[in-house]
């Protein structure tokens, strides 16, 4: 089994967390970590670009310590990793500030798509697409259109990363058109496409021909994209400390369960359970013990 998660990992500055101010995180990297914990050793690689600086060295060591393969990571001779700061309010909701415009990860796939060759599953996100130059993102989507393995995608819409809503919509629709497993979030889809509610989002996805995956709805629990699948009952989290990586961890558990032979309903239950564990602790990557 070979899984490749592609995107950007950044240096995380947690300004409200004395003793652990510096960490490493990023949407697809977070998913890679939680997938690596659920799948056999060596199954998950992360494709990105980092620098040749001391913090990049620490970042790679952290990846390896989390069980994520680093063999597909390229090192840029000049550029550095992106940085973001995170502050969390009393309800666990986050606010961010970013320094990433010239990050090394923005050169991802500038040398082609060899990093994805031979993967059984490729996972990427709207953030992956947003940081790429337009010509590279178009080439990536075209490459994935003929990809022999499975392709999973989460739009993870972040308006500040896009030049306009129109560009973001066009790119996201192209991405949904090449994926096999869709993992959208209700708030992202409503914000970008103007859908009135979950039913409208599901209808649009069925129009794309997508029936494998789940529509994430936060505390309410996910809805299956398959119109014939049962809608499960999902408990609400009793404790919310930090909602960072809730969706990323959900995606990880969902995909890992599918790769392990679970049906969509079972995958959704496992995914919701992991997301509840993650939001009950601070930071994107929670300790294993």
CA 230 to CA 225: how far, in whole Å?
10
The residues near 238 (Cβ < 8 Å, ≥ 6 apart) are: 280
9 and 48 Cβ atoms separated by less than 8 Å? yes
248 catalytic residue (yes or no)? yes
Half-sphere exposure of 189 (CA within 13 A, CB side): 23
Going from the C-alpha of 164 to that of each of 26, 171, 192, the distances in angstroms are 22, 11, 10
Catalytic residue among 27, 45, 188, 248: 248
Q: What is the DSSP letter of 213?
A: B
Q: Is 15 helix (H, G, I), strand (E, B) or coil?
A: coil
| Closest alpha carbon to 92 in 282, 245, 276 | 282
User: Which residues carry out catalysis?
Assistant: 248
């Amino acid at each position: 089994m070979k899984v490749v998660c592609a995107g950007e990992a950044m240096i995380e500055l947690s300004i409200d967390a004395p003793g652990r101010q510096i960490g490493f995180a990023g949407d697809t990297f977070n998913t890679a970590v939680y997938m690596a914990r659920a799948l056999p050793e060596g199954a998950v690689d992360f494709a990105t670009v980092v620098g040749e600086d001391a913090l990049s060295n620490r970042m790679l060591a952290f990846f390896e310590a989390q069980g994520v393969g680093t063999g597909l990571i390229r090192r840029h001779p000049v550029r550095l990793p992106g940085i973001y700061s995170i502050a969390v309010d009393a309800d666990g909701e986050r606010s961010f500030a970013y320094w990433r415009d010239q990050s090394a990860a923005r050169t991802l796939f500038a040398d082609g798509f060899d990093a994805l060759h031979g993967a059984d599953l490729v996972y990427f996100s709207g953030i992956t697409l947003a940081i790429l130059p337009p010509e590279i993102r178009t080439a990536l989507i075209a490459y994935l259109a003929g990809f022999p393995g499975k392709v999973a995608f989460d739009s993870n819409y972040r308006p500040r990363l896009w030049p306009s809503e129109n560009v973001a919509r066009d790119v996201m629709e192209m991405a949904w058109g090449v994926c096999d497993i869709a993992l959208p979030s209700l708030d992202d889809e409503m914000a970008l496409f103007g859908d009135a509610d979950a039913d409208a989002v599901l209808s649009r996805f069925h129009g794309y021909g997508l029936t494998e995956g789940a529509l994430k709805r936060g505390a309410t629990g996910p809805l299956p994209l398959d119109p014939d699948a049962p809608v499960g009952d999902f408990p609400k989290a009793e404790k919310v400390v930090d909602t960072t990586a809730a969706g990323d961890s959900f995606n990880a558990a969902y995909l890992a369960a599918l790769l392990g032979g679970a049906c969509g309903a079972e995958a959704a239950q496992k995914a919701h359970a992991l997301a509840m564990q993650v939001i009950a602790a601070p930071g994107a990557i929670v300790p294993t013990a």
